Each structure stands twice: as C-alpha cells, then as structure tokens.
C-alpha cells in the first residue's frame, strides 16, 4: 500500500515549488464545503480532508500549512487527516476575520484559489467586493490543478478501489431490479451496496423507461417489463471518484437494441485506441463520434443527444476535464478519466456504456471490471 503521508508531502512540495517559481508568496485555498464533480477539490488535494463547512488552507511558499475549519466541532477530524499539519476551528461567523488576520501574517504576494465559490457575502466581509480588479489577492485558481493532471500511486489506488465499488453497485442493480419496484427504491439498493463497500459519496444518476431521452435522477416511477435502465454510477472512495455507465434491460433485448449497443461497444473500442500518451484528448471524442456518425447518427453527436465522450475523474473535475472534439489537453501516463460513448439513439432511446481508465505507456487500462456488454434479466 502506498504511503499516504509521503504522497501528500510530495504534493505540497510540488505546489510550493510552483509558487516559488511563479513568485507567489502564499496561497489561500478556499472550499465552501459544497462538493462538485466539475470542480477539483483543491483543499482535499493538499490535506486529505473533505470538509463539511467552509474551510481555508493557508499555504506559504515554504514551510507547513495551516487549516481554518468550520464548524468548530470538525477540528478533531481535520487534525486526523494525513495532510493537515496545523488546524484551527473557527465559527462560521468569524471566518472572514480569521482569514483576514491569517492572510495578513503570510508572506506576500498572496494568491487566492476559490474565487468562484466564495459567496458574495463572504467576499464583502473579506473586503474584496471590487473582486475583478484583483487588488487584494492575485489569481491562484489554476496553480494546483496545473500540477494535478496525473494521479500518484496513492491516487490510482483509490480510484481503482472506487472503480471496484462501482462494479459492486452495478452488480447490485442487476440483482435487485424487478418489475414493480420504484426507481428510487432500486437506486437506494445500489447506493447502500456501495456505501457498505466503502463509498462515501456518489455522483449517481439512474433513469428507466421504454425509451429514455437522457440520463436523469431516479423518480417514483415503477419499473415495467422491457424497461431500459441506464445507470451512471460514480462512487467516491477516500475522496476519489470513478465512474461506470451501463445499460440493463428488464427483459430480453431486441435485435435492434443489441445492434445499437454493439455500436457503442465499437465506439468505445475506438475511443480506447485513441487514448494513448502524447495524443490529444480530442482524439478520443473524434474516434467515438466517427463510429457513431458512420452508423448514420452524425447529427446526434451533439447536445442534447449526448454530452461529452468522457471526463477527468479523481477528486472532482480534473484534467483532461470534458472530452470533446475541441478539448485540448494532451494525454499523459497516469491520467484517470472515464470514456463513455453514452448516446441518444432515435430507435432505442438513450443507451449508456462507460468505463474508468488509467492511461499507461501502451494505452488505457480499465479500472472498472464489469464486462463490457449489454445486461438484461428475463
């Protein structure tokens, strides 16, 4: 098992090295406590602490960091986190003043990450109401994400575990799904199985119907014979997400459904072939879209019929972010992301297929182990 403390120390060294190179004296990393799949959790990246309330990590360009955490009773848990060297509990109403005081003592110039999640009220209390002019803080938003595009051994281990939890979740979906069950009851089964296996969060979506238009949240609808159940299962293990997308039919699939799902399999294969170190991530989307377009669905390779052909996965949104024909990041070894040719098809409705991969020297290695096929239960 990889050494978490050493891994976190190396992350901090990399960040502080970049700060010195860029002339940043200190970095204030703010997290609102509202976690978001599309935003990298920078505070977690340096602390291994997934905060409940608004919290701030103060990072000097050398030396130990200091964490300000709300609510006050979270202090014990914060202190136990592997990347926290010094922590202080602060009442929410005192946070602005605490940040001001601490930032005043930090070596300058001081940069800030988290502008996009600081509320207008807190910004006013911090005296940065004239926000766009950057008078108070330099822009430090991209400093950490630029260093966190690839996963360390600890991170790969956690994403892998998360992928296996997703496999367990989908297996539960297959076992538990039955006609007459409400969608949310099935979702609860999947959720509980993954929590018991170690999941602490889940970007989980699950829709069902004879002809799904898109993936959506579970509703009170009861499952019916012939339903296509589409699942985007995204558990989180020790702060790291992995995703599995599959299609399950409550009944025997038709030839048409098999044929269209085979198209997604072929598209995903082509996407895998394009996922090699040194190649642009846009190549994956082009490869996937190529197969689907050749099958006569070129006009469906855009919103609202699909969203992206994949996206970065780790602690929230990470490089390569959304995989589209316009995405620019170049693939590197140890990037982790999902490749999913999820697609609305006019004849069958929305079908899903997606797997989390890690990029290795020869190409992608699937971390999810669920067989890549159409699932059904007669």
List the one residue from 33, 251, 290, 329 that touches other proteins (CB under 8 A). Answer: 33
Q: Does 210 contact other proteins by CB under 8 A? A: no
Region near other proteins per CB under 8 A, out of 148-156, 250-258, 301-309, 323-331:
301-309
Region near other proteins per CB under 8 A, out of 152-160, 162-170, 212-220, 262-270:
212-220
Q: Does 98 contact other proteins by CB under 8 A? A: no
134: left (phi over 0), alpha (psi -120 to 50) or beta: left
Q: Closer CB to other proteins, residue 50 or residue 270?
A: 50
Least distance between other proteins and beta carbon 326 (Å): 15
Region near other proteins per CB under 8 A, out of 194-202, 243-251, 327-335, 367-375:
194-202
Least distance between other proteins and beta carbon 345 (Å): 14
Say if CB 49 and CB 67 are below 8 A apart.
yes
Residue 159: its H or E element? helix 153-176
| Beta pairing, strands 26-31 & 110-113 | parallel
Q: Does 4 contact other proteins by CB under 8 A? A: no
Say if CB 83 and CB 46 are below 8 A apart.
yes
Least distance between other proteins and beta carbon 257 (Å): 21
Give the pair of three-digit tokens for residue 215: 């993936």
Q: Does 220 contact other proteins by CB under 8 A? A: yes
Rounded CA-CA distance 138/28 in Å is 10
Q: Closer CB to other proteins, residue 20 or residue 302?
A: 302
Residue 138: its H or E element? strand 138-139
Q: Does 278 contact other proteins by CB under 8 A? A: no
Q: Does 117 contact other proteins by CB under 8 A? A: yes
List the one residue from 35, 276, 286, 372 that touches other proteins (CB under 8 A). Answer: 35
Phi, psi (deg, nearest 5) at residue 55: -145, 155
List the one residue from 94, 116, 252, 347 that touches other proteins (CB under 8 A). Answer: 116
Say if CB 123 and CB 131 are below 8 A apart.
yes
Q: Residue count of the chain, please give it.
A: 378
Q: Does 269 contact other proteins by CB under 8 A? A: no
List the one residue from 196, 210, 294, 298 that touches other proteins (CB under 8 A). Answer: 196
Q: Closer CB to other proteins, residue 231 or residue 320?
A: 231
Least distance between other proteins and beta carbon 304 (Å): 3
Q: Does 305 contact other proteins by CB under 8 A? A: yes
Give the pair of three-digit tokens for residue 355: 């797997």
Q: Does 122 contact other proteins by CB under 8 A? A: yes
Least distance between other proteins and beta carbon 156 (Å): 20
3-state secondary structure of 286: helix
Least distance between other proteins and beta carbon 44 (Å): 12
Tell me which long-range contacts 220-225 makes (C-beta under 8 A, separation of at least 24): 220/182, 220/183, 220/184, 221/182, 221/183, 222/179, 222/180, 222/181, 222/182, 222/183, 223/177, 223/178, 223/179, 223/180, 223/181, 223/182, 223/183, 223/186, 223/250, 224/179, 224/250, 225/179, 225/250, 225/251
Rounded CA-CA distance 375/247 in Å is 6
List the one residue from 115, 258, 286, 372 that touches other proteins (CB under 8 A). Answer: 115
Least distance between other proteins and beta carbon 234 (Å): 8
Q: Does 300 contact other proteins by CB under 8 A? A: no
CA–centroid distance for 52 within its chain: 18
Tell me which long-range contacts 114-121 makes (C-beta under 8 A, separation of at least 24): 114/28, 114/29, 114/30, 114/31, 114/32, 114/42, 114/141, 115/139, 115/141, 116/39, 116/141, 117/30, 117/31, 117/32, 117/34, 117/39, 118/30, 118/32, 119/32
Q: Does 184 contact other proteins by CB under 8 A? A: yes
Binding to other proteins by CB under 8 A, coded x per residue (else -) over 141-180, reads ----------------------------------------
Positions touching other proteins (CB under 8 A) are: 33-37, 50, 52-53, 71-77, 115-124, 128-129, 131-132, 182-185, 187-189, 191-193, 195-196, 198, 200-205, 213-214, 216-220, 234, 236, 241, 303-305, 307, 316, 344
């Amino acid at each position: 098992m990889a050494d978490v403390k050493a891994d976190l120390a190396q992350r901090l060294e990399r960040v502080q090295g970049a700060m010195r190179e860029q002339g940043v004296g200190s970095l204030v990393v703010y997290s609102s406590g509202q976690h978001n799949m599309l935003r990298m959790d920078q505070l977690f990246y340096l602390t291994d602490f997934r905060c409940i309330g608004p919290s701030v990590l103060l990072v000097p360009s050398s030396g130990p960091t200091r964490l300000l955490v709300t609510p006050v009773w979270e202090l014990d848990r914060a202190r136990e986190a592997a990347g926290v060297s010094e922590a202080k509990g602060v009442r929410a109403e005192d946070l602005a003043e605490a940040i001001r005081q601490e930032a005043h003592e930090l070596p300058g110039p001081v940069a800030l990450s988290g502008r996009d999640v600081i509320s207008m009220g807190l910004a006013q209390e911090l005296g940065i109401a004239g926000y766009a002019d950057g008078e108070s803080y330099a822009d430090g938003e991209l400093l950490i994400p630029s260093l966190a595009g690839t996963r360390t051994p600890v991170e790969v281990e956690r994403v892998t575990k998360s992928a296996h939890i997703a496999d367990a979740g989908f297996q539960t979906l297959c076992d538990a799904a039955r006609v007459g069950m409400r969608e949310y009851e099935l979702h609860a089964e999947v959720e509980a199985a993954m929590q018991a296996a170690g999941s602490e969060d889940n970007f989980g979506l699950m829709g069902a119907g004879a002809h799904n238009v898109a993936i959506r949240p579970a509703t009170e609808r009861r499952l019916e014979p012939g339903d296509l159940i589409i699942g985007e299962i995204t558990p989180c293990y020790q702060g790291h997400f992995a995703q599995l997308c599959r299609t399950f039919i409550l009944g025997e699939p038709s030839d048409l459904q098999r044929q269209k799902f085979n198209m997604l399999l072929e598209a995903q294969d082509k996407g895998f072939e394009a996922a090699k170190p040194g190649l642009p991530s846009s190549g994956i989307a082009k490869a996937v879209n190529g197969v689907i377009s050749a099958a006569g669905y070129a006009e469906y390779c855009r919103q609202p019929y699909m969203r992206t052909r994949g996206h970065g996965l780790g602690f929230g949104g990470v490089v390569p972010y959304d995989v589209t024909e316009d995405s620019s990041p170049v693939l590197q070894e140890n990037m982790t992301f999902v490749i999913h040719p999820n697609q609305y098809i006019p004849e069958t409705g929305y079908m899903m297929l997606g797997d989390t991969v890690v990029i290795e020297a020869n190409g992608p290695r699937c971390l999810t182990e669920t067989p890549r096929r159409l699932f059904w239960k007669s």
